[in-house]
Amino acid sequence: MPYTAKRYQTENGEVPYTDWMKKLRRKDQTAALKVDSRIARAMGGNFGDHKFERDGVWELRVDYGPGYRVYYSIEDGEIILLLIGGNKKTQTADLDKAVSYLQDFKKRSKNDSHQKCEVAEK
């Protein structure tokens, strides 16, 4: 089943996943390409090494470097909502942020049927 990937956007317009990827691209282009590849595979339905964490948040693990992670949620059975990325060292803090972002997304979605998400490129 194909999925559409979207990026969570805060109320003030920040896109945490995009910000993380920009930093990663500057730091390690190969790592960024590996993360992009994992997202593309997930969009095709092949999630590979992933697990449910808590409160609607899943973790997609990228076996490269310090162990990169992408935190996401599946919305409406067809949208991969990319919340934030990080690595094994920042895992606990990143997961807490991802849960908070998802709660914010759901709260604002109830109040606004046009909840903003930045559409991800493949």
Each residue's pLDDT tens digit, 50-87:
999 999 999 999 999 999 999 999 998 888 999 999 99
Alpha carbon dihedral 41, 93, 57, 66, in 10-degree steps, equals 20
Mean pLDDT of the chain: 91
Q: Does residue 15 have a pLDDT over 50? A: yes
Q: What is the pLDDT of residue 122?
A: 40
Closest CA to 56 of 95, 109, 5: 95
- Give the CATH number of domain 4-119: 3.30.2310.20
Q: Does residue 31 have a pLDDT over 50? A: yes
Q: Does residue 120 have a pLDDT over 70? A: no
Mean predicted confidence (pLDDT) in 107-120:
67
Listed by start position, the domains of the chain span: 4-119
| CB-CB contact of 6 with 73 (8 Å) | no
How far, in Å, CA of 45 to CA of 38, rounded? 11
DSSP tag of 49 = S
Q: Does residue 48 have a pLDDT over 80? A: yes
Q: What is the pLDDT of residue 109?
A: 85
Mean predicted confidence (pLDDT) in 3-16:
93
